[in-house]
Amino acid sequence: MPYSPLVIAHRGHCVGAPENTLAACRAAAERGADMIEIDVRRSRDGVFLLLHDALLDRTTTGVGPVSDRTWTEVSALDAGGWFGPAFTGERVPRLEEVFDLAEEASVALCLEAKGETAREQAVVAYALGEELARRGRLDRDVVASFDHDALAAAARAVPGLRVAPDRLPERGPSQAADLIAQARRIGAPIIQHHHADLTPDVVRAVQEAGLEVWAWPATERQEIERAHAMGVAALMGDDVAAIREVVGR
């Protein structure tokens, strides 16, 4: 059987639509994504919503921290016009809207827990795990974070929750043995490793330990081809169509 990694849309198909919007998620599903990665934060009044940055400024018409705004305030903002006039009027989605889309499109979700403090990330990671359990999606979806302690706590609290620690080139262990030890401490079956400093030896060793390597964010064709050649379990990037061209259907 030919090797076929998971195709994961990073913040949706965000080369063709504004990141972390329903438009980007729909575009990802239409282009054959197996999973959609999204960033999840809370509004001031505790509503879970999609936004990568702590500040509203870059991807909405709002300013300042999203954690200072109620959902009513956030929902009134434009989250698409910055990307292009065709997307003017696109809104910041609530998490429940993305769950509905995922069910309709039969795609999985990688939910990255965001927060400006360790406590907030832990609260979000746990809440996401509980929501996956409530919706019966523990076998499909994954909770990710750069806060590995938050993931470990969520994995302990929610039986069956799959967690995926993120790793940047400048942050976290680089040797396979250290990556494996960290994943086992957290209880993670997956390591989300930045493609830039990923090596075939690391991929091989991690896989031999019974864990998966997901390479991200491979968006340029050369990046996708390099990661694909290493045999990673999943390729995550901004351009779903480009990944599909490399890995085939």
From residue 138, how far is each of 134, 188, 198 by CA, in Å?
9, 13, 28
Q: What is the pLDDT of residues 139-150, one digit of tens each?
A: 999 999 999 999
Q: What is the pLDDT of residues 85-132, one digit of tens each?
A: 999 999 999 999 999 999 999 999 999 999 999 999 999 999 999 999
Section 155-163 average pLDDT: 98
Q: Identify the pLDDT of residue 3.
A: 79
Taken in order of first residue, the domains within the chain and their CATH numbers are 6-247 (3.20.20.190)
Q: DSSP E strands: which ranges in the chain?
A: 6-10, 35-42, 48-50, 108-113, 142-145, 163-167, 190-194, 212-216, 234-237
pLDDT band at 243 (very low <50, low <70, confident <90, very high): very high
Q: Identify the pLDDT of residue 2.
A: 66
Q: Identify the pLDDT of residue 169.
A: 72
Q: What is the pLDDT of residues 8-46, one digit of tens each?
A: 999 999 999 999 999 999 999 999 999 999 999 999 999
pLDDT at 172 over 80: no
Q: What is the pLDDT of residues 187-225, one digit of tens each?
A: 999 999 999 999 999 999 999 999 999 999 999 999 999
